[in-house]
Structure 1
């Protein structure tokens, strides 16, 4: 059975992380949440009060970062500390696009991600996996949905812990992140020329995973047998 490298890109709130975990589990593959890695860098920069790109780049290069699979999610360990519980706050979400747009940060992260993907049997999700991180990935999928649909998903995730946030606030933030991610100078969010577009606005997470397996099966018949 061939072990594929599967690149899943798409905008914020498209469900990339959730469906990638399901897909990796179904296939017996490793899941690498690249977005969580950038969130970890953002968290560390905020914790240290850094705003200068050069300082954030230097900090990133000095970080001892590793990723480990967990029962519920991939865990990001930075300098011996599991920072996973702290990287999906509204504060981190509000700054991750600008931090991830820093060239030095992306260079450092891409090197780590490529090393993780070398052996195949891996699912990576992010915003530039198919275009920059793994341009020769076996299968590339661009996952998307409307801004409203993606904002509603994020609202449901956050409403219990952050009741002060409104759907309108989150929709504005999602639209802002779309613009920043797609207009950044280095590795902007865009669909790779050979990526398959998948709109999951009307699909469940399980349904989206099924659609992705069908895409892989069409390109590599019998790969999952």
Structure 2
């Protein structure tokens, strides 16, 4: 059976945690599409000595392998900012599009989380979720993650970076971050992760019943 769950939302909203949880719950394959852009961003910065060159970013995107997604530095704030910058390059998005679409329509079900899955990559997804939260709450979560990893960034600095990234993602000309018209909204500002996962599971079960008739 082919069944796609598209989960979109801004950074630190909880979409990745929800995606991993529902993938385990239903036995679906999971792809964090943000890692694709983070890997391209980090490799492009390294190749350009700190400068993002669009042509170089596109070449790197076309040669990306699954091994590149296992780098330990992909969860850093630097990687996140680089991802947002290369994601605005049309050639990079085009290079990564086929990979994501093939993954999404694989047999056995798939969960993809990112920023344009329900709107651009998989507009035909059986389930679309948009996960969000107040930016101050998201900054607190991200700061805790970074601090646990040894970062010395302040929460105020993390909040400023999140707001910059939100603005960049929402304003880019190609595939801006936005909620699909038919996406179910899950606001995790005051919602526990267990409650958010329960809400996502209920929506997926509802659509599975409609698709399979049982």
TM-score calculated relative to the size of structure 1? 0.87
Match 1:99 to one of 82, 86, 89: 86
Match 2:149 to one of 142, 152, 161: 161
Match in the other structure for 2:65: 65
More helix by share: 2
The reply to whether residue 26 of structure 1 matches residue 25 of structure 2 is: yes
Residues 56-135 of structure 1: pairs in structure 2 closer than 5 A: 56-61=57-62, 63-66=63-66, 77-78=67-68, 83-120=70-107, 121-135=109-123
Q: Supply the distance in 1 between the matched residues of 2:169 and 2:162 (Cα, whole angstroms).
A: 10
What is the Cα deviation at residue 56 of structure 1? 1.4
What is the Cα deviation at residue 175 of structure 1? 0.8
Deviates more, 1:94-103 or 1:210-219: 210-219
Match in the other structure for 1:8: 7
What is the Cα deviation at residue 95 of structure 1? 1.9
What is the Cα deviation at residue 5 of structure 1? 0.6
Q: Supply the distance in 1 between the matched residues of 2:27 and 2:208 (Cα, whole angstroms).
A: 16
Q: Supply the distance in 2 between the matched residues of 1:194 and 1:17 (Cα, whole angstroms).
A: 20
User: 1:22·1:206 contact (CA, 8 Å) conserved in 2?
Assistant: no
Q: Supply the distance in 2 between the matched residues of 1:18 and 1:37 (Cα, whole angstroms).
A: 17
The reply to whether residue 216 of structure 1 matches residue 204 of structure 2 is: yes
Match in the other structure for 1:183: 171
Q: Supply the distance in 1 between the matched residues of 2:33 and 2:192 (Cα, whole angstroms).
A: 22
Q: Supply the distance in 2 between the matched residues of 1:86 and 1:186 (Cα, whole angstroms).
A: 26
TM-score calculated relative to the size of structure 2? 0.91
SS of residue matched to 1:31: strand
The reply to whether residue 41 of structure 1 matches residue 40 of structure 2 is: yes
Q: Supply the distance in 2 between the matched residues of 1:118 and 1:3 (Cα, whole angstroms).
A: 6
Q: Supply the distance in 2 between the matched residues of 1:141 and 1:114 (Cα, whole angstroms).
A: 17
Q: Supply the distance in 2 between the matched residues of 1:223 and 1:159 (Cα, whole angstroms).
A: 43
